């Protein structure tokens, strides 16, 4: 069976947890361990979003007032992280 898994940017964060790289890596490892259980018997397609990371970059760049117009400006750096 082919399974599409939408692993959004929120999967990298836990409610109330810090938005640090080390915490995001730990959270993605947990998600990957669960996803790996499906891999033997299925074809997996994993799609990833980065909404919270883009939002954090926008806040760091002090773009809150112009957030909607400038999200594309923040999206590219978040993909390189």
pLDDT digits (tens, 9 = 90+) for 40-68: 999 999 988 777 777 777 777 766 555 55
pLDDT digits (tens, 9 = 90+) for 11-27: 777 778 887 888 888 88
Q: What's the CA dihedral at 71, 48, 45, 27 to 10 degrees? A: 180
Indicate whether 1 pLDDT > 80.
Answer: yes
Residue 6 CA: distances (Å) to CA of 11, 59, 61: 9, 25, 28
């Amino acid at each position: 069976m082919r399974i599409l898994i939408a692993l959004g940017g929120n999967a990298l964060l836990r409610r109330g947890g810090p938005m640090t790289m080390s915490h995001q890596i730990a959270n993605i490892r947990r998600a990957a361990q669960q996803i790996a259980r499906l891999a033997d018997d299925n074809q997996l397609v994993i799609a990833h979003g980065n909404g919270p990371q883009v939002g954090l970059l926008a806040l760091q760049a002090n773009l809150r007032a112009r957030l909607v117009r400038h999200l594309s400006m923040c999206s590219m750096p978040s993909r390189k992280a």
